[in-house]
């Protein structure tokens, strides 16, 4: 089995500044830590780094740092941070990113923006600038914002978009699971009608606070598989974010090694059980989407 981790984060607070880190995540998760948390029982594994949201002024510094450790960490491509609503400043930033060969796409983190932000004229102008370079866009949104991604796909049809984390649906926990909501299923179906849009099988463990099992999450995988088909699905770990367990006894949340491997094999087993081509879901689709040869 071959694996492309399509959604890997790396960071080091001694190198860059991250205002959102707290608890067990507020420490280095770089090449050394990743090598201690590899996926087991696979023949080959590589990863695509997705921006980890340092302070905005360090977006280029983040790419430079990840590029410097890419070989050690097995990173074959970089999805860089970029605000797409800044007009000429956006174009200048994209030009700076183009100096790095591993950059294949960008992410403007939409989950913290107001609903409808991705429909704005300034954002769409920036998205067209991304598409003109042949780059991809990672859409990380809350479930209620999925229609904004659909509107973006309609406005910029030549932009390849991947929906991170299945659009972050509410999944509950293993003790109190939730079923896929009718609204989320409807919005996923609408988005999937755009053939340039893919979806990452990532992030659900984090949405469950680290308390999940296969029976709880497989219905969500089934929904996106039914909408997108096996050719537009890609596995991602969301490491280390999805390797954190929320404390249930009033203590602090904590990171656990091995959960990246658990999620990978959960998705691999699910794909095989459904009769899908696991090599597409775990390897080929991500490489095709991001244009990696």
Q: Could you read off the pLDDT of 178-189 as tens digits, one per residue?
A: 999 999 999 999
Per-residue pLDDT at 125 exceeds 70 = yes
3-class secondary-structure state, position 151: helix
Residues 6+ apart with CB under 8 A from 248: 211
| DSSP summary character for residue 209 | T
Q: What is the pLDDT of residues 14-30, one digit of tens each?
A: 999 999 999 999 999 99
**Residue 68 CA from chain centroid, whole number:** 21
pTM above 0.85, yes or no: yes
Distances (CA, A) of 272 to 135, 230, 277, 288: 31, 11, 7, 21
Tens digits of residue pLDDT in 127-137: 999 999 999 99
pLDDT value of position 191: 98
Query: Distance (Å, rounded) from C-alpha 59 to C-alpha 56?
Result: 6
Average the pLDDT over 38-67 and give the result. 98
Q: Which positions ≥6 away from 67 have C-beta within 8 Å?
A: 78, 100, 102
- Is the pLDDT score of 51 beyond 70? yes
Residue 47 preceded by cis peptide, ω within 30? no
Distances (CA, A) of 38 to 7, 16, 81, 165: 14, 24, 25, 20
For the chain, what are the domain ranges? 2-290
Q: Is the pLDDT of residue 35 over 80?
A: yes
Confidence label for 250 from pLDDT (cuts 50, 70 and 90): low
Kindly state which CATH superfamily the domain 2-290 is placed in: Metal-dependent hydrolases (3.20.20.140)
The residues pairing with 49 across neighbouring beta strands, listed in sequence order, are 8, 78
């Amino acid at each position: 089995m071959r694996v492309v981790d399509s959604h890997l984060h790396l960071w080091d607070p001694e190198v860059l500044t991250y205002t959102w880190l707290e608890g067990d995540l507020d420490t280095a998760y770089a090449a050394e830590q990743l090598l201690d948390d590899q996926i087991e029982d696979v023949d080959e594994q590589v990863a695509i780094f997705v921006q980890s949201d340092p302070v905005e002024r360090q977006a280029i510094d983040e790419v430079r740092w990840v590029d410097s450790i890419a070989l050690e960490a097995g990173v074959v491509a970089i999805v860089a941070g970029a605000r797409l609503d800044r007009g000429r400043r956006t174009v200048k930033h994209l030009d700076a990113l183009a100096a790095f060969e591993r950059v294949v796409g960008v992410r403007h983190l939409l989950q913290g923006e107001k609903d409808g932000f991705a429909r704005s004229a300034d954002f769409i102008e920036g998205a067209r600038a991304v598409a003109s370079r042949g780059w991809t866009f990672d859409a990380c949104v809350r479930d209620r914002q999925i229609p904004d991604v659909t509107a973006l796909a309609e406005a910029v049809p030549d932009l390849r978009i991947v929906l991170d984390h299945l659009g972050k649906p509410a999944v509950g926990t293993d003790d109190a699971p939730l079923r896929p909501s009718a609204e989320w299923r409807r919005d996923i179906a609408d988005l999937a009608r755009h053939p340039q849009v893919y979806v990452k099988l990532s992030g659900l463990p984090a949405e469950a606070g680290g308390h999940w099992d296969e029976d709880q999450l497989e219905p969500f995988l089934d929904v996106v598989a039914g909408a997108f088909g096996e050719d537009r699905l890609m596995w991602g770990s969301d490491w280390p974010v999805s390797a954190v367990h929320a404390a249930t006894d009033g203590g602090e949340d904590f990171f656990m090694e091995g959960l990246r491997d658990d999620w990978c094999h959960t998705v691999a087993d699910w794909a095989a059980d459904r009769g899908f081509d696991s090599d597409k879901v775990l390897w080929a689709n991500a490489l095709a989407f991001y244009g990696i040869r």
